[in-house]
A and B are shown apart, each in its own frame.
Chain A
């Protein structure tokens, strides 16, 4: 869309008066500015508000917001024994609804296809992903072969990591199908930004959404009883994302339980221990990975269809970073559609020719440990010391099924405000979008998502790797 001239002059003034970062030559896309460095029309009201506040005013607001985060125990723990508030930058990322509609449709399309794949994998005769890929995955559970989950849905809550490569195009980096976390951080960041920065929000019509209603509808749709008993299973207050467990429990009005609260009764059902009499559980929204450790016998209860798990067991087979390569084919096969969203070009290292290509171009690629998560096991070779290359080359030659290679994507940066130095800085950002699928087969992606900001020295955005959150607004 051509930028109006009047807006351009205003934007240029904003860039200089706010002392926004200068772009590097041929650097990555900066979402809040145009190619010529002037503030993007969509960000002009926001930046004008920031200009009105000035560096000192922004610092005061940032500190007020930090206090709000601290007081509300809005935390993400890196060390179980140390309380840590969630580091957040309060300049919102803005996505236009037209852009979002395409993202949302792409995410929902992918979720549907992944669920159909999992059903085909465990209950059918899937032929899309080669057998040696499936059987070499530590996430594939042969014990679940033949098991149909409630309403045939394996993945109810889905998180997908995207990066913006410019011009409204987003590329998928990976899928999260096990226990994707971050939706409460999405909600909380938006809530605080709108409450404490009314000047930022006043000029925008942010698209509303009701996660609580959608989740309740999803949980209810999976159960046969009229008034199902649902609980949220947490790994406890020392878990990294415990804030989210508590927040969702309050939001959805379902009890928060830990493993010690649950047991398997003589009837094979899951029961929750309570002072005034135990209660049978119909559905567990689980936020833990190793279920048998938390509740011995839970796997058997699930396979006997005595309890519903959200997400189901076995979903990790499609969460495998190598299976990722075949998701576009799943979409074509199961839905008869072309993928709406592009995904990062990835390489299966078992193929000799591909391996030769990867070894010859290691310094331009990203290597990912197949079973890694939370930013662990991701090697962005262009950003690393060359001395690592020979070691990683040895590792992938020794264990080609343990890694995938991926093209390095020059994704977008966004601006953050450093309240210590009262300066602005550009950082890499990604976008984790959440979607759900209910028992009626309906999918819903929640507008915006969680923008994660990388540390100043890298591109890995995970909070567990030292990244920040950023509120994300979808605007009309």
Chain B
């Protein structure tokens, strides 16, 4: 019987076109999720600091939604749109899109870290977004979760120790 030939195992980190595409979008969606969480949190904290009530918070979130390109139809709740519903500019959809890109390009540890953030976020009762405090906590939770994703990228993609530029190149290229 002929001896089996080997299959090259050194190709699983090729930077193909589809990997580049997914890497770029993975980064974009994660950053977008983090930015929306950050500005939402800031908006809520500012309204609280200024002693504004529900009307002031609603106005602040509507301004924020407009700046994110979210068109609020009829009496749509801006908090729900920003946090959950909008297809391209809600925190939840940005995280889900990032997960989708990650499944094609990222190490499984990074996929898991993103899934963890999504699961924690999905577990929050949407009705709680009526409360400024809970809205702020949900946004802060996403920011904290994304720090974990960043750490996972550091740990599993680049290793804990700083790599030289050449080492990073070879890590991807091979």
Tell me, rounded to whole Å, the shortest Cβ–Cβ distance linking A66 to chain B: 10
Q: How many residues of B contact A (CB 8 A)?
A: 31
Proximity string of chain A (195-234) to chain B, C-beta cutoff 8 Å, 1 when within and 0 when not: 0000000000000000000001101110101111111000
Q: A237-B104, A260-B18, A275-B20 are in contact. Are A253 and B4 (CB under 8 A)?
A: no
Rounded to whole angstroms, the CA-CA distance of A193 and B109 in the bound complex is 20
Q: Establish whether residues B6 and A220, one from each chain, have CB atoms under 8 Å apart when the complex forms.
A: yes
Most chain A beta carbons < 10 A, residue from B4, B21, B99, B173: B4
In the complex, B112 has a CB within 8 A of chain A: yes
In the complex, A187 has a CB within 8 A of chain B: no
Tell me, rounded to whole Å, the shortest Cβ–Cβ distance linking B22 to chain A: 8
Q: Establish whether residues B7 and A237, one from each chain, have CB atoms under 8 Å apart when the complex forms.
A: no
Out of B9, B96, B104, B112, name the residue touching A83 (CB < 8 Å): B96
Q: A73-B111, A242-B103 are in contact. Are A274 and B7 (CB under 8 A)?
A: no
What residue of chain A has the Cβ atom nearest to residue B21's Cβ?
A260
What residue of chain A has the Cβ atom nearest to residue B111's Cβ?
A73
In the complex, B15 has a CB within 8 A of chain A: yes
What residue of chain A has the Cβ atom nearest to residue B114's Cβ?
A73
Q: Establish whether residues B12 and A276, one from each chain, have CB atoms under 8 Å apart when the complex forms.
A: no
Rounded to whole angstroms, the CA-CA distance of A257 and B19 in the bound complex is 8
Tell me, rounded to whole Å, the shortest Cβ–Cβ distance linking B25 to chain A: 10
In the complex, A390 has a CB within 8 A of chain B: no
Q: Establish whether residues B7 and A219, one from each chain, have CB atoms under 8 Å apart when the complex forms.
A: yes
Q: Establish whether residues B4 and A258, one from each chain, have CB atoms under 8 Å apart when the complex forms.
A: no
In the complex, B49 has a CB within 8 A of chain A: no
Q: A217-B4, A246-B103 are in contact. Are A255 and B111 (CB under 8 A)?
A: no
Q: Establish whether residues B14 and A440, one from each chain, have CB atoms under 8 Å apart when the complex forms.
A: no
Rounded to whole angstroms, the CA-CA distance of A228 and B17 in the bound complex is 21
Q: A221-B2, A253-B7, A260-B17 are in contact. Are A72 and B115 (CB under 8 A)?
A: yes
Rounded to whole angstroms, the CA-CA distance of A156 and B17 in the bound complex is 28
Q: Establish whether residues B9 and A253, one from each chain, have CB atoms under 8 Å apart when the complex forms.
A: yes
Q: Establish whether residues B108 and A276, one from each chain, have CB atoms under 8 Å apart when the complex forms.
A: no
Out of B11, B17, B115, name the residue touching A73 (CB < 8 Å): B115
Rounded to whole angstroms, the CA-CA distance of A236 and B14 in the bound complex is 17
Proximity string of chain B (110-149) to chain A, C-beta cutoff 8 Å, 1 when within and 0 when not: 0110011001000000000000000000000000000000
Out of A70, A75, A216, A274, name the residue touching B14 (CB < 8 Å): A274
In the complex, B16 has a CB within 8 A of chain A: yes
Proximity string of chain B (1-36) to chain A, C-beta cutoff 8 Å, 1 when within and 0 when not: 110111111011011111011100000000000000
In the complex, A67 has a CB within 8 A of chain B: yes
Q: A220-B4, A261-B17 are in contact. Are A254 and B103 (CB under 8 A)?
A: no
Rounded to whole angstroms, the CA-CA distance of A317 and B18 in the bound complex is 32
Q: Establish whether residues B116 and A237, one from each chain, have CB atoms under 8 Å apart when the complex forms.
A: no
Tell me, rounded to whole Å, the shortest Cβ–Cβ distance linking B108 to chain A: 7
Q: Establish whether residues A67 and B4, one from each chain, have CB atoms under 8 Å apart when the complex forms.
A: no
Q: Establish whether residues B108 and A250, one from each chain, have CB atoms under 8 Å apart when the complex forms.
A: yes
Q: A70-B119, A72-B115, A237-B100 are in contact. Are A221 and B12 (CB under 8 A)?
A: no
Q: Establish whether residues A272 and B100, one from each chain, have CB atoms under 8 Å apart when the complex forms.
A: no
Proximity string of chain A (43-73) to chain B, C-beta cutoff 8 Å, 1 when within and 0 when not: 0000000000000000000000001001111
With a cutoff of 8 Å between Cβ atoms, the chain B residues found around residue A229 in the complex are 8, 11
Rounded to whole angstroms, the CA-CA distance of A254 and B111 in the bound complex is 19
Rounded to whole angstroms, the CA-CA distance of A254 and B7 in the bound complex is 8
Tell me, rounded to whole Å, the shortest Cβ–Cβ distance linking B16 to chain A: 4
With a cutoff of 8 Å between Cβ atoms, the chain A residues found around residue B22 in the complex are 237
With a cutoff of 8 Å between Cβ atoms, the chain A residues found around residue B103 in the complex are 73, 75, 237, 242-243, 246
Q: Establish whether residues A440 and B2, one from each chain, have CB atoms under 8 Å apart when the complex forms.
A: yes
Rounded to whole angstroms, the CA-CA distance of A249 and B11 in the bound complex is 10
Q: Establish whether residues A273 and B17, one from each chain, have CB atoms under 8 Å apart when the complex forms.
A: yes
Q: Establish whether residues A230 and B100, one from each chain, have CB atoms under 8 Å apart when the complex forms.
A: no
Q: Establish whether residues B15 and A73, one from each chain, have CB atoms under 8 Å apart when the complex forms.
A: no
Out of A223, A274, A276, name the residue touching B5 (CB < 8 Å): A223
With a cutoff of 8 Å between Cβ atoms, the chain A residues found around residue B111 in the complex are 72-73
Q: A70-B119, A219-B7 are in contact. Are A261 and B96 (CB under 8 A)?
A: no
Out of B9, B21, B96, B116, name the residue touching A71 (CB < 8 Å): B116
In the complex, B89 has a CB within 8 A of chain A: no
Rounded to whole angstroms, the CA-CA distance of A275 and B103 in the bound complex is 21
Q: Establish whether residues A261 and B16, one from each chain, have CB atoms under 8 Å apart when the complex forms.
A: yes
Q: Establish whether residues B6 and A73, one from each chain, have CB atoms under 8 Å apart when the complex forms.
A: no
What residue of chain B has the Cβ atom nearest to residue A237's Cβ?
B104
Starting from the known contacts A236-B18, A279-B14, 8 additional A-B residue pairs (CB-CB under 8 Å) come to A73-B115, A217-B4, A231-B11, A256-B104, A261-B18, A275-B20, A275-B173, A276-B173
13 A–B contacts from the bound complex (CB under 8 Å): A72-B111, A73-B103, A220-B4, A220-B5, A225-B5, A230-B8, A237-B103, A243-B103, A252-B7, A254-B7, A254-B11, A255-B12, A255-B16
Which chain A residues have a beta carbon within 8 Å of chain B's beta carbons? 67, 70-73, 75, 83, 216-217, 219-221, 223, 225-231, 236-238, 242-243, 246, 249-250, 252-258, 260-261, 272-276, 279, 438, 440
The 5 closest A-B pairs by CB, nearest first: A253-B9, A220-B5, A275-B15, A217-B4, A261-B16
